[in-house]
Amino acid sequence: MFGMSNTIQTPYFVMYEKKLIHNLKKLNELEEKANIHILHTVKSFNQDTVLPIISAKLSGMSVTSPKELDIAKKANAKKVHLYAPAFKEEVLKEMIPNISTLSLNSLTQWQKFLSLPVSKGLRINPKLSLAIPTHCNPNLNSSRLGVDFVDFLDIYHDNKSQFEELEGLHFHALFQDKTEGLSLLLEHIVKYYQKVLPQLKWINLGGGHNFTDANYDVNNFVKLLDNFQTKYPNIKLYFEPGETVTKGCGDFMTTVLDIVVTEDIEVAILDTSIETHLLDVAIVNQSLQVKNTQKKVTPYFYELSGNSCLQGDLIGKYYFTEPLQIGDTIVFEDMMPYTMVKMTEFNGMEKARFYLQ
């Protein structure tokens, strides 16, 4: 299967190196065309056998913790950006010598860590009205992620002296964006931060950029950034696009252990679980892409479930193109970003193995 020995036992993740190299080439070209720095987000994908490949092609990595920093260092990341909603003082001080830029999440943390010897910035909530799922929308008025931009600007204008050490701003405001959202974000920045921008050395425009999508408008992206950089040549632009680095680069392989019937629905029990290998399903009720299924109604309708003792361990309902049999392989497609990093051993299940092909 996929060029691998049939003795390989499921469940396992498989990454296709050629597809990863294709993505990295597109990202590297984008860095050069737009004069930007793209950082791989360690929390989206952290396989130590693959990170050196990513590190060799991109400008660096973004991390949130000492463990992720250690992973980035071992992968020889060129630049390291650090952000978390809050830091313990002793932990942050230990990390500072090994990071390039730091984003702090609140004005309280800004005051607390003002004297640290590192290029510091603030994460800002621009409160943009964008069509983003609530669970990952950082623009909400109630969001704890970032300083309300109105509050920041009011305080900055009233007492600029407390921001003499401010070298960067961080906006993580988009979701699977194809430049429309970026255009609005840049308009927001140019409109509201005119007095702040001259003193900055960098802006981190965060994640949510769908750079490796076939329909991504590279020309418009470059044009938008050219216009901004012409006005503010003093500012380096960082992006940490998360899933787009490994998007489309690998699958998750499982096996049908049994098929039971409940209320006339055939339920296929797989050797996996939403609690162990597929936490995205549990957290955001995500509908996964399953090979040999389609939206069109077929006679072969199954509910896929996990093998834990949790009644709610239900992966989803799918129409297959042919009937399932015990022992069949079920392939979940495009499972590299934000999946393996969340694995647990709930109910005694082992973490799924990883293969690079």
- CATH code of the domain in which 266 resides: 2.40.37.10
Q: Given pLDDT bands bounded at 50, 70 and 90, which one contains residue 4?
A: very low
- Residue 9 forms part of a structural domain: no
Whether the CB-CB separation of 195 and 94 falls below 8 Å is answered with: no
Predicted local distance difference test score (pLDDT) of residue 285: 67
Q: In this structure, are 256 and 222 located in the same domain?
A: no
| Separation CA 230–CA 272 (nearest Å) | 52
Alpha helices in the chain (DSSP H): 17-34, 51-57, 66-74, 89-95, 107-112, 149-158, 180-192, 218-231, 279-284
Q: Residue 287: which pLDDT band, with cuts at 50, 70 and 90?
A: confident
Q: Is the pTM of this model over 0.75?
A: yes
Q: pLDDT tens-digit profile of 168-185? A: 999 999 999 999 999 999
Does residue 231 or residue 285 have the better pLDDT?
231
Whether residue 126 is preceded by a cis peptide bond, meaning omega within 30 degrees of 0, is no
The span from the CA of 104 to the CA of 83, in Å, is: 6
Whether residues 283 and 190 fall in one domain: no
Q: Are residues 237 and 269 in the same domain?
A: no
| pLDDT tens-digit series, residues 300-331 | 999 999 999 999 999 999 999 999 999 999 99
Pair (308, 348) in one structural domain: yes
What's the pLDDT at 131?
A: 86
**pLDDT(6) > 70:** no
Q: How far is CA 24 from CA 1, 12, 51, 184, 263, in A?
A: 26, 23, 12, 26, 47
**Is the residue at 1 inside a domain?**
no
Average pLDDT for residues 39-48, to the nearest whole number?
97
243 labelled as ligand-binding? yes
Residue 311 counted as domain residue: yes
**Is residue 81 over pLDDT 50?**
yes
Same-domain pairing of 194 and 99 = yes
pLDDT digits over 126-179, tens only?
999 988 888 889 999 999 999 999 999 999 999 999 999 999 999 999 999 999
Q: What CATH number is associated with residue 228?
A: 3.20.20.10
Residue ending a domain, choose from 245, 279, 302: 245
Instruction: For residue 345, say whether it is annotated as part of any ligand binding site.
Output: no
Residues 7 and 241: their CA atoms lie apart, in Å, by 36
| 346 plus 273 within the same structural domain | yes
199 and 253 fall within a common domain: no
- Please state the rounded mean pLDDT for residues 338-357: 94
Mean pLDDT in residue range 83-94: 98
59 with 192, same domain: the answer is yes
**Last-in-domain residue among 245, 278, 297:** 245
Name the domain boundary from 245, 264, 296: 245
pLDDT, residue 1, reads: 35
- The reported pLDDT for the residue numbered 2 is 33
pLDDT band at 335, cuts 50/70/90? Answer: very high
Using the predicted structure, report yes or no on whether residue 203 has a pLDDT greater than 50. yes
Give the model's confidence band at 279: pLDDT under 50 very low, under 70 low, under 90 confident, else very high: confident
Cα(28)–Cα(344) distance, rounded to whole angstroms?
33
Asked if 297 and 214 sit in the same domain, the reply is no
Domain carrying residue 299: 249-356
- CA–CA dist 110, 103 (Å, integer): 9
Q: pLDDT of 212-221, one tens digit each?
A: 999 999 999 9
Domain match, 315 and 218 both: no
Q: What per-residue confidence (pLDDT) applies to 132?
A: 87
Residues 37, 59 contacting (CB under 8 angstroms): yes
User: How many structural domains compose the chain?
Assistant: 2
In a domain, 336, yes or no: yes
State whether 201 and 222 are in the same domain.
yes
Specify whether 26 is located in the same domain as 105: yes
> Phi then psi for 301, rounded to 5 degrees?
-105, 125
